[in-house]
Chains A and B, each alone.
Chain A
Amino acid sequence: MPHHQEAHRPAADTVARGLGWFSLGLGAVELLGAKSLARWMGLDKHEALIRAYGAREIATGIGLLTSRDPGPWMWGRVGGDALDLAILGTALSDRDAETDRVVFATAAVAGVTVIDVLCAQSLDASRRNESDRHWDYGDRSGLPRSPTQMRGVARDFEVPRDMRIPEALRPYDQAQRRPL
C-alpha cells in the first residue's frame, strides 16, 4: 500500500504497469507453451520448471497491475530475473542444450533485468521525494505536560486480574522467593 498517493502517475509507475502486462503475457506463454519452449531450447527435462516460472510471472503481473504501490512487486521482478539468469547460466553447461538459443534467452532476460532494476529504483526515488513534503505534528502530544512528566501518572490504575502477566512470568526475586 502506498504511503503517499501522487496526483499524477510518474513515468516509472507507468513502466511498472507495462511490465505487469508483460509479466502476464510471458507467464501465459510459459505456462501454456512450456513444452514447446523447453524443446526449443533443448531443455526438455525442465518443462515443469518453466511452467512454475509461468505461474510466478502471472502472480507478479497481477501484483504489479492491482497493487496501488508497484514498488515491492518491481523488486520481486528483479529477484525473479536474477533467478532466471542463474538457471539459464547453468543451462549453458547442459550438454543437451541448444546453446545459441539459450544464449539468446539469456540476453533477452538480461535486457529486461536492466529495465526492471531502473524502474524499481526510480519508483523508490519518487517515493522518497514524496515523503520529503511532510506535515509535522511534533506539537500534538495530547498530554498536559511533557511525556517525561506524565510518565506513570496513571499508575493508580489496577490491572484486572485476568489481564496480568501470568505470575510465572513476572520479574521474580529468587532469593526472596517472591515477585519483585
Chain B
Amino acid sequence: MRALCWHGKGDIRCDTVPDPEIEDARDAIIRMTSCAICGSDLHLYNHFIPGMKDGDIMGHEFMGEVVEIGSSVSNLKVGDRIVVPFTIICGECEQCRRGNFSVCERTNRNASLAAKAFGHTTAGLFGYTHLTGGYAGGQAEYVRIPYADTTHVKVPEGLTDEQVLFLGDIFPTGWQAVVQCDIQPSDTVAIWGCGPVGQMAIRSAILLGAKQVVAIDCVPERLSMAQAGGATTIDFDEESVIERLNQLTNGKGPEKCIDAVGLEAHATRSIDSVVDRAKQAVMLESDRPHVLREMFYVCRPAGVVSVPGVYGGLIDKIPFGAVMNKGLTIRTGQTHVNRWTEDLLRRIQEGQIDPSFVITHTVGLDDGPEMYETFRDKKDGCIKVVLKPH
C-alpha cells in the first residue's frame, strides 16, 4: 500500500510499504477514506519531537471502513464506518476507567522508554514517536487499529467524512482545552494560535458560553477565520499582546488562557524568543515557551491556563513566580478523545457546529509530502489539509 513515511527533518515521502495485518485478537484493519495532517505532525516533520525512526508511517487523525477484525472484537463488523481517536486506549486500566484516556497505562508498547522520558508511561499514539509506542499511522491506504474494540467512534448514517473526521483529534482537543477552563458566563478566554486547534477552541468557547473570546496569531487568513467564529483578534506582529489583552479586560487580564501553539512558538523581535532560538540551536533547550511566558504573565490572578499545545522536553525562564503568587491553575495533556466524542457527535448531528469549516485543502495521498510544506509554511491560505488515500 502507499503511505506517507518520515525520513528525517523536512523529509516525508509517499512510499510503498507492506499492508498491515492483524497481529492481536483485539485488532482491526481499516481501509482509509479520509485522513488529515495535524499541527502535531509538523512538530515531527520539523523534528522537534525525539524518538522518530526512518520510515515511520505518519498520521493520527483518520477514519475509514473496517475491512478485517481480530477474533475477540465483538462490537465491530466488516463494513462499519469508524473515526479513530489518536489515543489508543485499553478501556480497562485505572486511568481509562477515570476517563484519562491519553494516559492509558497499557497501550504504549514502549512504556519503559516513555517512563524514562516522562517519569511514567502515557498512552500509545498512532503515527507519533516511539516514545508513545511507535504505532504505524493513518496517512496510508490501510492501518491496523490495536485495541480496536475500545479505540473507535462509530459514525452514524447521514454524516459526511468531513463533518466527523476531526472527532479523532482537533475537535475534542479544542473542546477539552476549553472544558478544562471551566467557563463561566463572565469569562474572557484568550486563545494563542489560530491554527486548526485554536479554531476549534474558539467555537467551543462560544458554545460553552464565554462572554468574550480573544484570539491571537499573525497570519491574516487565520485571524479572519477566528473572527468568523466570534473572536476578537490580536495580530502579534502588529501590536503588543499583553497590552491589548489588558485593555480588553479593564486591566485585569483574561480569566482563562489557552495555548494552542505549542513548542514552536514564534515571536517577532522579542528578546526571549531570540534567546530561545539560539538555545534550541545549540540544544540547551528543546522547546520554545514564549506563549507560556506570555500567558502566565497576563492571566488574571486565580485564573486558569490550559495547554493543549504540545511540548516535548525542557523549557527555560518560566515566570513561575507569577504562577505561584497569582494562584494560577495549569491544566494540560494530550486529549482524552473518547471522553468527549459521544457528546460532540450529538452536537454535530444536531447542527450546533460543522467542523468541516476549517478544511482549506483536499488532495490525494501522493500530494501529501507537498502539503506538509504548504501547511507548515502557511502557503496558499492553508489551514487544514485532508488527504483522500483511495
What is A's interface to B at a CB cutoff of 8 Å?
Answer: 1-5, 59-60, 62-63, 66-69, 71-73, 75-76, 79, 131, 134-144, 146-148, 150-155, 157, 159-160, 162-166, 169-171
Stretch at the interface among B15-23, B79-87, B136-144, B269-277: B269-277
Per the bound structure, the CA–CA distance linking A167 and B277 in Å amounts to 39
Q: Which of B180, B182, B230, B268 lies in contact with A151, CB distance below 8 A?
A: B230
A-B CB contact pairs (8 Å), 12 listed: A134-B220, A135-B220, A136-B221, A142-B229, A143-B203, A143-B353, A144-B351, A151-B210, A152-B207, A154-B208, A154-B347, A163-B179
Contacts of B67 in A (CB 8 A): none
Beta-carbon nearest neighbor of A154 in chain B: B207
Residues A131 and B220 in contact, CB atoms below 8 Å apart:
yes
Per the bound structure, the CA–CA distance linking A152 and B268 in Å amounts to 35
Residues B203 and A157 in contact, CB atoms below 8 Å apart:
no
Question: B317 an interface residue at 8 Å Cβ cutoff?
Answer: no
Within 8 A of A (CB), among B267-308: 267-269, 271, 273-274, 277-278, 281-282, 302, 304
Per the bound structure, the CA–CA distance linking A129 and B91 in Å amounts to 52
Residues B224 and A138 in contact, CB atoms below 8 Å apart:
yes
Nearest CB of chain A from residue B294's CB, rounded to whole Å? 16
Per the bound structure, the CA–CA distance linking A151 and B205 in Å amounts to 8
Question: B156 an interface residue at 8 Å Cβ cutoff?
Answer: no
Per the bound structure, the CA–CA distance linking A67 and B264 in Å amounts to 12
Chain A CB within 10 Å — which of B218, B278, B329, B331 has the most? B278
Question: B352 an interface residue at 8 Å Cβ cutoff?
Answer: yes
Taking residues whose C-beta sits less than 8 angstroms from the other chain, chain B's interface range is: 35 or more
Residues A163 and B224 in contact, CB atoms below 8 Å apart:
no
Number of A-B residue pairs having CB atoms within 8 Å of each other in the complex: 155
Check A150/B355 contact, CB under 8 A, given A5-B379, A171-B186: no
Per the bound structure, the CA–CA distance linking A63 and B271 in Å amounts to 14
Contacts of B219 in A (CB 8 A): 3, 131
Contacts of A150 in B (CB 8 A): 206-207, 230, 352
Per the bound structure, the CA–CA distance linking A159 and B282 in Å amounts to 43
Contacts of B99 in A (CB 8 A): 160, 162
Per the bound structure, the CA–CA distance linking A1 and B379 in Å amounts to 12
Contacts of B220 in A (CB 8 A): 131, 134-135
Residues B227 and A171 in contact, CB atoms below 8 Å apart:
no
Residues A1 and B355 in contact, CB atoms below 8 Å apart:
no
Q: Which of A3, A137, A143, A162 lies in contact with B225, CB distance below 8 A?
A: A137
Residues B182 and A165 in contact, CB atoms below 8 Å apart:
yes
Q: Which of B206, B304, B329, B356 lies in contact with A143, CB distance below 8 A?
A: B206
Contacts of A151 in B (CB 8 A): 206-207, 209-210, 230
Contacts of B267 in A (CB 8 A): 72
Question: B343 an interface residue at 8 Å Cβ cutoff?
Answer: yes
Per the bound structure, the CA–CA distance linking A124 and B339 in Å amounts to 45
Within 8 A of A (CB), among B128-171: none
Proximity bits, B168-204, A CB within 8 Å = 1, else 0: 0000000000011011111000000000000100011
Q: Which of B237, B331, B357, B379 lies in contact with A141, CB distance below 8 A?
A: B357
Check A63/B278 contact, CB under 8 A, given A4-B378, A154-B207, A154-B352: yes
Residues A135 and B269 in contact, CB atoms below 8 Å apart:
no
Check A72/B269 contact, CB under 8 A, given A136-B221, A165-B304: yes
Contacts of B230 in A (CB 8 A): 141, 143, 146-148, 150-151
Question: B327 an interface residue at 8 Å Cβ cutoff?
Answer: yes
Per the bound structure, the CA–CA distance linking A4 and B208 in Å amounts to 33
Q: Which of B224, B277, B378 lies in contact with A72, CB distance below 8 A?
A: B277
Per the bound structure, the CA–CA distance linking A131 and B219 in Å amounts to 8
Check A135/B381 contact, CB under 8 A, given A140-B228, A151-B209, A154-B207: yes
Contacts of A147 in B (CB 8 A): 206, 229-230
Question: B266 an interface residue at 8 Å Cβ cutoff?
Answer: yes
Per the bound structure, the CA–CA distance linking A142 and B203 in Å amounts to 8
Residues B277 and A63 in contact, CB atoms below 8 Å apart:
yes
Residues A1 and B264 in contact, CB atoms below 8 Å apart:
yes
Residues B208 and A155 in contact, CB atoms below 8 Å apart:
yes
Chain A CB within 10 Å — which of B199, B274, B356 has the most? B274
Question: B383 an interface residue at 8 Å Cβ cutoff?
Answer: yes
Contacts of A155 in B (CB 8 A): 208-209
Q: Which of A136, A148, A170 lies in contact with B224, CB distance below 8 A?
A: A136
Residues A157 and B228 in contact, CB atoms below 8 Å apart:
no
Beta-carbon nearest neighbor of B277 in chain A: A63
Nearest CB of chain B from residue A94's CB, rounded to whole Å? 28
Nearest CB of chain A from residue B138's CB, rounded to whole Å? 23
Beta-carbon nearest neighbor of A72 in chain B: B274
